[in-house]
Structure 1
Amino acid sequence: MIEAVPIGISISTPEGKFIECNSEAYTISGFASKEEFLNIPALELYHEPKDRERFVELHEKGLVKNFVVKLKRKDGSAYWSSITSTEQKIGKQISYINTFQDVSEHKEAELKLKESESKYKYIANELEMILDHLPLIVAYKDNKNNLLRVNQFYAEAHNLQKEDMEGKSAFEFYPQELAQSYLDDDLKVIMSKQPKLNYIEQWESEQGSRWVSTSKIPYIDEEGNVQGIIAIIEDITEKKLAEEKLKESEEQYRVVLDSINDPIHVVDTGLSIILINPAFKEWVKIFDISPDILGKKVFEAFLFLPDLVLDEYQQVFSTGKTLKTSGKTVINNKEVFTKTTKIPIFSEGKVNQIITIVRDITERKKAEEKLKESEKKLRGIMASITDQVSILDRNLNLLYLNKVVEEIYGPSALGSKCYQIYQGFDEPCSDCQVRRTFEDGEVHHKECLREIRGDSRYIWSVSSVFETDKEERPILVIEVSRDVTERKEKEKEIFDLAQFPSEDPYPILRVNRNGVMYINEAGQKLLNLKDNDQIPKIFQENVKVTFESNQITESEIELDGRNYSFTITPVKDADYVNIYGMDITERKHVEEKLKEVNKLKSEFLRRASHELKTPLISIKGFSDLILSLYADQLDTPIVSKIREINDGCERLQNIINNLLKTSRLESPDLRPKVQKEDLSFLIKFCVNELQPLAERRKQSIKLDIHSELYANIEKEEIHDVLSNL
């Protein structure tokens, strides 16, 4: 029977001697006959002797099932086997009945799968590193406007961490209408399965309004289904502003910013190129260099690189720190200016790859030269601009004023400090954007108030580098200022009209006498209402009272297992009221816990006071007895000490009484016993009691009250209040 089974079967002793086997058993093991197989100890069939020990240990614990282990054949070759073994007692002999089969193919597939998973994880980490260091904003979105993945620049644009955005809906980060427009645009790309590339739009971010170049690419899974889109956004605000300025100055100067994705390549520890992006392929074609460079050494692919580049790579590998450099290179007789960033990639704590990002700034360099050459013409153009234009040096001296500035501040302002002329200050403004431009060479702007002809005006100012030295440090800055007072007033009017919080997380309604005029999204979900519905029964009575009394009413309601507070507020000169809801569940829980804590505290005070009072009575009673019976028989120091004990007992008695009184005052059952009393007499009585204390402190008490003041009070409590002032 065992010969018909297509798996190896053997019977062995616990010591590893084979007693019986089928042909499949010795065939799998590479033996020619059963006799040859039975003469081999089981230990010699194991690739690792320790695995035989594990097999025996498993038997001691019970059944051995699907024990996967590496065995070896007669010729020494290894294979993976799955063993199942049971212990049987045949006569007086304990034997192992073993079944086993060759699972090498399955095991090797399993190992390859693990290796593939490891490589996939590595590639995913590498992709994330690249995305986080690209000077672009990148987001993966599904067809429901959820953010599946964002890069570091995207999160920073919203002043958040990546973890705060991934997995959440875009509706949580943008106004409803704007988020919906993003989704509508995404769906067009998803439905068409065609990318939408490099379209220019304005983007409202946490840093303000920016011009961006946006591309959207279908996000396709392994089965070819479009799951969403990949949005790639490049900030081109500076380029946009430069283009506008070039048009205003009749194209006398040009500033070209790189709007193409930066070229990227990755090298390993041997400086072999293992990855390049499409932008890199296109970039090298410009210089007649073949893009077929994968697997080549950096210095084999780019013969023009100086030896200094080797030192830079070695520095990044040794220090593990990002290195930024800039310089000029001649490639096939073409002069190229670049900014390069070398970023280390870590594996198990060591740098094993470097990402190199190259930014071609050649066109910008040429544009800067043209700007310097056109300075004279530019001055003429600036003189005709209707905004206030000035040029300043590093000491904030006004070196140039256009006619608009001269008309406002007079020609004598030339050569003066800007903060003295514009603000009347002795020191520079703390938030001076001109100084920031000198420090970092970037464009800065701000709004401020200036006194112009005796009138406070809102001024919007922008500053940018006008001229640099040989080391590219700013030496002159141009400032353009515009009076935006009228615009600010209009913005305030618009803001005042948009105060009703439609996106409040709590329910908000506006109702008239007939029904619901408006309800926000939170209210719709909680109350199952929509605009123009009838007023819910839970609000009808309070709404009626609010309309009739023109007073605010409040109520607490339990909805969906949570407590809500609703405030109904009348609106002056309007035939409607606003209802503001708030979830107070947690507050109610806290209030209940506070009540319980106060109850425990009061109980503790009562018990502690009682426990202290009992021994105190005994101490004071015996000390009084000693003084009354034996005072004349005791030494004066002893009598003095006993009296000190008595005084201490009285002080402690007062403390206990105060504790008891505190406990009584905090009791919810306490009700004041008020009656009509002469408050004037009580005040005079307390003042007389406090007079000795006032004299010791060299103070005087001036009393100016009516002779008779009657009020409904609890006399003892008011006495305590006045005495402790």
Structure 2
Amino acid sequence: MNTRFLPKKTNLIISVALLCLVIIITGFVYYNYEQNSIVNNKYKELKNVSDFKSQQLYSFIKEQKATLKIVSSSTFFANGIKEFLHSPSDVNLKIDIVDRLKPIFEEQKFENIILTDETGKLLLAVKPGIKDLSEFTISKIKQAAATEKIVFSDLYFCNLHNEIHLDFIAPIVDEQSKVIAALIFRINPEEEFFPLLQYYPESSISLETILRKDEDSVLFISETRFGSNTAFKLKIPLTRKEVPAVQAVMGNLGQFEGKDYRGVKVLSDIRKLTDPEWIMITKIDKSEINAELLEKTYYILAICLGLIFTVSLGFVWFYNQRQKNIYEELYRKEKEIGQHQERFKVTMESLGEGIITTDVNGKIRYLNLKAEKLTGWNLREAKGRMLSEIYHVKNEETGQIENNILDKVIKHGIVKELANHTILISREGKEIPVMDTGAPIFNTDGSVNGIVITFHDEAEKRAQQKLIKDNEEKYRFLSAQFEAILDHIPGLVFYKDTKNNFIRVNRYFAEANKTTKEAFENKNCADIYPKEIADKYYEDDLSIINSGVAELNIEEPWLTETGARWVNTNKIPFVDNEGNIIGIIGLSFDITERKKVEKELLTSEGKYRDLIENATVGVYSSNLKGEVLFVNKRFADILEAESPEELKNSAAIVLYKNPEDRNRFIRLLKENGIVTNFETELITRKGNTISTLVSAKLEEEILTGMVLDITELKKVQDKLSESINRFNRLVSKLNDVVWTASIDSSEITDVNDSLEDIYGITIDEFKANPKLWIEMVHPDDREIAEASSKELYEKGQASAEYRIVKPDGTVTWLFDRKSIIYDDNEKPISIGGIAKDITECKLAVE
């Protein structure tokens, strides 16, 4: 075993282990953060539900009292009662009173409406069958008569009727302000009150709200979600301090984690209500919270494992990179030379080109003189006009007008050749073949400020190219004599006579030998190099001089002041004006680094082969006939093959579930040269169907590409789509308007079908104008609606009652409640709300 590299490998392993430990610790810390975040978010949801329920309770009580007040305070009704009290045996008067109360009884769905005298004596009931009233009910009647105010009885269990009652009692006063009777609105809690508590605007399997009342023990006065017939029957001893209801009796309010009446662990919100004095507990099972946390746990685990894998792979890559430093240095130098050459090329090609700049909307900012000449527009006339109007181009072959130049340039974000075979149509209608390129213009902050388009007349370019070609041979000999050109050639240029003496060398040759050009003039080759090497050079020179035939691509050693190097030499006969050979002209390029790279490439070829074989995606190559030429191990695994050899030389078309998919894939490749993320279904060797993304590049009728198995991803997408559809169906069945908007209220993102019934407008109209809702608010109530919107951004939620005016002139009362929606990081992302039609309630109060 070679132990020379052991310390470096050991340090590498220790570094990887430490980074993996940091990732694990970070993952654990993030897990705790997510756990606390989920609990806090759930508690916020519980608080929102509690707020919603308490508002519902108060609204319910307020509505019943308002209805009772309207009826009991009616002078006409009071006179009828007074007349009935003077003639209790008059059946017609009794029937008349019942007929007046019956519409209210049926509309409000009361259990009964009862009329008594001021002492609690039963006079009549809309629903017959009641004979007596309980002592508790009579006491509340006397309380109402004494205070001359409406009395709310609270929920109570009536031993006389063996039922739970909820009464609203109002005194009836005559013209002398004397209490002469009492009117009772009795509500059936099972039908009207308990369902109100059991409805939730959240999708939860365990969420419930419970009203409780404390006596000697904790007594639940409402029905529970997971029990039946529990109202005024379910009691919890005060010794069970883990129960939220017991904590409420002990004076603890707010967030509490414990066990509910079932013994199940829950997270609860405890709050105290006034008028009536109830304690409301909103809770949710911890198991439901933990289900969401489990999903986060899998996500964190996957991230940590991915990071550990990435770190390990990165360190392996870093270790291998150290072996390729020489090649990278050579690549960097070649890249720099290529960049210099590219800049030179761009400069040469840009001479005499038309230039147009625009803003990000495609409006003209500037045209140079060449662009004015080619387009026929001057800058003053073109400025501010659209690019498509000034730079009007079409495809030379198809005649199709090109209108998406701006999009092409901004999309690629780099200098981009816009199209081949382009025809510019000038203002005068003249058609000019052009070659154009485009590039984005960036601000100092990196944002796109506009685009620049350069184009030139192809006819003029073709004429210039022909002129250059015609003159190239004519001036070849003269150009070779210019000293400046010789000095800038990145190689050794030398002239020698027939005696092996140097006549002239370029600057590169002289500097490589650490001397001047003048020092080489008339100097024999043997004075510079060892005799055996000088003789070899002279032997090659004489062969060219005698034969008149050039020798090319001679690879030979070259001795310099800094050591031995390798050069590639080309030698040609040097002739005078009469055609006589007077020596040789040589041109040598330093290929020392190339020799090193060739050796290095042979070593690294095996490494790249291993990289492809171990890739995490399927890699393949085939020809246009459909013959599979190569696949890696991952490709064989995806198609459930025993080995890559099993798939080689097989027909690619049999792998496609739909053979037409491959034909379409090949057509796209022939048209574009490259295809990415082509989705299709393949048949594995075991006959299973899998969903894949196929990418490929076509070069010389050979397809090279990758295959990614997305079968599991498609299944997840299908489940997500099904979940969204279920939610949309639920929202569409609500009678209230449910809507969501962007956080700045500039866009309505979603609204259910109830909008058309309540607002009298279509969903498209509502989405087209985000300010339409405030425009429909009654002018007298618009200040209330605007104050509600301001409160929303200050407090995170708001509610208001106001009127809207429909397109047909109808006035509708709305109860509007809205909240800001936050993401997991407490960042506001949107607004959601519910608008309820309360017109009937308002009319009843009035």
Higher relative contact order (CA 8 A, sep 6+): 2
Q: TM-score range by the shorter chain?
A: under 0.3
TM-score in terms of structure 1 length = 0.22
> What TM-score, normalized by structure 2, do the two folds share?
0.19
